[in-house]
Structure 1
Amino acid sequence: MSNSTVLRAGASPNLLVPALLACYLVWGSTYLAIRLALASFPPFFQMGTRFLCAGALLMAWVGTCGGPWPTRRQWLHAAFIGTLMLGGGMGLTATAEQHVGSGLVAAFIAVVPMLVCGWGLLFGLKPGRMELAGMVVGVAGVLLLVSGASFHASPTAIACMAGATLAWSLGSVLSTTRLPLAPGAPGFASEMLCGGAALMLVSLVLGEQPQWPPQPLAAAAWAYLVLAGSLVAFSAYLYLLGHASPALATSYAFVNPVIALVLGIAAGGETVSGHEWGACAVILTGVVLIFAGKAKASGD
């Protein structure tokens, strides 16, 4: 992608590695946590309460530290980006996990870097040959994945994941181009608050009813999603979007599917066929090609 660099001006190298590890390790484990929390918390209610709680805690911390509040325009940006990335991306991801194993959902989400490349075309970011090859290979891998028994039995899951990845990737591109958030923690908090509100509105329209009292394991999974998945990992991702190259910011797509698949099998009792493992390998090959192409372009 033309002149992208690994680390943007103003970014702290000391924060880069922790942010990457949070996206790699914590996010990889949240897919199983989402599935466990579904036992008591319906998809949109689960995601809505998760991000409202995390956003409120983060915004309270901003207020305590005397940090600047987002402007009116930045709140409008947060509302649009939050509705896309959280309302569409996370709400539909949780819905898909009602029908398909968490590891396979994570494997589908590995197409996000390819979609980011595609949306980038609208903003004058022309992919190179290797990136185009990666997109083709990745799409082939997704088609192979959804033709397997797990996805083939659930058209609903396919529709949800298609919508989730399109919304998430578009929100990621817009947040770094046309609709920037407030810098730092206020921007992260405003997006989570706005996205959480959008999710709760959908939950209300759908008439979702959480189980009360919740099952202990579901409650623990929900708390993990709030603290680790939202406050730590999601904030880390937004930091990377604003301070690192798009290639590095979305590099979690390499690691998350592997962690999610292993955890789903080991701790969630999920099964993955040889066909589905092969599809995951094809998808990750496409991701590798995209990142290799971006690295080559940035080095030219």
Structure 2
Amino acid sequence: MHQNTADRRSSLLVWGALAVVYVVWGSTYLGIAVAVESIPPLLSGAMRFVVAGLLLGGFLLARGGVAAFRMTRRQFFGAAVVGLLLLTFGNGMVAVSEQYISTGLAALLVASVPLWLVVFRIMVRDRPKLLTLAGVLVGFAGVAALSLSGAQAGSTFGIVVILFGSLSWSVGSFMSSRIAMPANPFAASTVEMLVGGVGLTVLGTGVGERVDLAAITGRSWTALAYLVVVGSLIGFTAFSWLLGHAPISLISTYAYVNPVVAVVLGALVLNEQVTGQILVGGLVILVGVALVISIERGGSPRSGEDPGKPGDGKPGDESAEADRVAPRDDPSHVSGGRPPRP
């Protein structure tokens, strides 16, 4: 009786945490779009990640002292490089692109990240399974169709920017499992967010962005606060808890649920138009991603393995790379193996 009750409670907690990851990371695309209505895109990301990094770092110091940040220079450098790739050039480009394309289109194109990771594996002479390659071809066919249809209905520039951001996010996720990283994943995420935030500050000011506090609307402030607290901190905590309490095959479903959530929220809240071409192209991408993840995850995955999310940073195993997604924050996507947001 007690065992059944405990099992039921554990199951409810798992599905509750999974729902948080589904909705929170899917909603970060909407949050970014609202934030950049009156805050320059790159500097809005800088504000988000610097604040989130300071909050997370402060919590770690209060709880474990400086020992939590014990790392070598090489590990610090590794986390810093991953932070620049995931957050500065990955998440930063998501924010820039959403000035030109819909949040739903952005999320669907970011969903191509697992496909790029398979391409990188081929480049380092790994040999994915034949069905994995089939999934990659299907997924990229969807990316091509979505890019062409999106360019007609939106901005070619925005599509090019989001694809560049997705590529950077993929490189950062791929590297995070192959370079020295801090042993404490929360400390790694803190470094990634702070360095990524500084990188966004430098990049934003370099291209002429300036923050006019008087011009920022209450709506954008609210969205920014949501991205910091809910997107980067609560979403990250829920994801990290799931890694130790749920099968990776279940956790990795966020890779194709997040874009669906983003499309629905964009249509409901921002009245974004969802065309038949976008639906078909997006569905093809998600089918390709689902095929790649299911094949790479074949067998009975162990609970606690890390599927990764763009914007994270913890080393993962070879099979985990297939679903390291997601501009966040994003990502959404708190990076390679843990998340600092989309």
The two structures have a TM-score, normalised by structure 2, of: 0.76
**Does residue 74 of the first structure (1) align with residue 75 of the second (2)?**
yes
Shift of the alpha carbon at 1:19? 5.9
Shift of 1:86: 0.2
Which of the pair has the greater relative contact order for Cα pairs under 8 Å at 6+ separation? Answer: 1
Q: CA contact under 8 A between 1:42 and 1:210: conserved in structure 2?
A: yes
**Distance (whole Å) between structure 2 residues aligned to residue 113 and residue 240 of structure 1:** 20
Task: Note if contact 1:172-1:241 (Cα within 8 Å) is conserved in structure 2.
Answer: no
Alignment of structure 1 residues 242-257 onto 2, 5 Å? 251-257=253-259
In the other structure, the counterpart of 2:6 is: none
CA contact (8 A) 1:109 1:253 kept: no
CA–CA distance in 1 between the matches of 2:106 and 2:197?
21
Whole-angstrom distance in 1 between the partners of 2:170 and 2:251: 12
Given that 1:174 and 1:180 are in contact with CA atoms closer than 8 Å, whether structure 2 keeps it comes out as no
Single out whichever of 74-83 and 182-191 deviates more from structure 2.
Answer: 182-191
Q: In structure 2, do the counterparts of structure 1 residues 166 and 247 end up closer, same or farther at CA, with 3 Å as the change threshold?
A: farther
- One-letter identity of the residue aligned with 2:288: G
Write the distance in 2 (CA, Å) between the matches of 1:242 and 1:177.
Answer: 22
Task: Tell whether 2:222 aligns with 1:220.
Answer: yes
- Gaps in structure 2 of 5+ consecutive residues: 1-10, 302-342
Cα distance, 1:166–1:15 mapped onto 2, change above 3 Å:
farther
Q: CA deviation at 1:73?
A: 2.2
**Aligned pair partner of 1:62 in 53, 60, 63:** 60
Residue 191 of structure 2 corresponds to which residue in structure 1? 190
1: distance between equivalents of 2:97 and 2:18?
26
Q: Which amino acid aligns with 1:87?
A: T
Out of 227-236 and 285-294, give the one that drifted further: 227-236
Following superposition of structure 1 onto structure 2, how do residues 151-230 of structure 1 map, counting pairs within 5 Å? Answer: 153-213=154-214, 214-230=216-232
CA offsets per residue over residues 33-62 of structure 1, 9 Å max, x none? 100011121111011110000000110111
SS in 2 for 1:148: helix
Look up the SS of the partner of 1:147 in the other structure.
helix
1:42 match: 40
**Deviation by residue 1:225-253 (Cα, 9 ceiling, x = unmatched):** 00111123346567889999987665422
- SS in structure 1 of the partner of residue 270 of structure 2: coil
Aligned residue type for 1:111: S
Partner of 2:113: 112
Residues 241 and 211 of structure 1: CA distance in aligned 2, closer, same or farther (over 3 Å): farther
Contact 2:132 2:292 in 1 (8 A): yes
Aligned to 1:23: 21
Unaligned runs of 5+ in 1: 1-12
Separation in 2, partners of 1:23, 1:124: 33
1:172 offset after TM fit, Å?
1.2
Q: Which amino acid aligns with 2:176?
A: S
Aligned twin of 2:133: 132
RMSD: 2.7
> Equivalents in 1 of 2:43, 2:87: separation in Å?
12
**Amino acid across the alignment from 1:69:** F
CA gap of 1:152–1:264, structure 2 versus 1, over 3 A, is closer
Cα displacement string for residues 98-118 of structure 1 (whole angstroms, at most 9, x for unaligned residues): 000001100111111111222
Contact 2:69 2:184 in 1 (8 A): no
Separation of aligned partners in 2, 1:241 and 1:275? 35
Distance 1:231 1:260 in 2: 19
Query: SS where residue 41 of structure 1 aligns?
Result: coil
Residue type of the alignment partner of 2:120? W
In 1, the alpha carbon distance for the partners of 2:176 and 2:94 equals 20
- For 2:244 and 2:184, the matched residues in 1 are separated by 8
Cα 1:290–1:95 shift into 2, 3 Å:
same
Residues 1:121 and 1:244: Cα distance change in structure 2 (over 3 Å)? farther
Distance (whole Å) between structure 1 residues aligned to residue 250 and residue 13 of structure 2: 13
Quick one: which amino acid aligns to residue 213 of structure 2?
W
Structure 1 position 259, deviation (Å): 0.4
Equivalents in 2 of 1:244, 1:131: separation in Å?
Answer: 24
Pick closer, same or farther for the CA change 1:147–1:241 going to 2, 3 Å: farther
- Please say if residues 105 and 150 of structure 2, whose CA atoms lie closer than 8 Å, have aligned partners that are also in contact: no
Structure 1 residue 169, shift from structure 2 partner: 1.3
1:237-286 CA-to-partner distances (Å, cap 9, x unmatched) read 67889999987665422101110000000011110111111111111110
- The answer to whether the 8 Å contact 2:101/2:154 transfers is no
Q: Does 1:141 pair with 2:139?
A: no
Q: How much does 1:219 deviate?
A: 0.5
- Report whether the alignment pairs 1:100 with 2:101: yes
**Larger displacement relative to structure 2 (214-223 or 241-250):** 241-250
Q: Note the C-alpha offset of 1:129.
A: 1.1
Contact conserved, 2:151 with 2:159, CA < 8 A, in 1? no
SS at match of 1:207: coil
Instruction: Give yes or no for the alignment of 1:294 onto 2:292.
Output: no
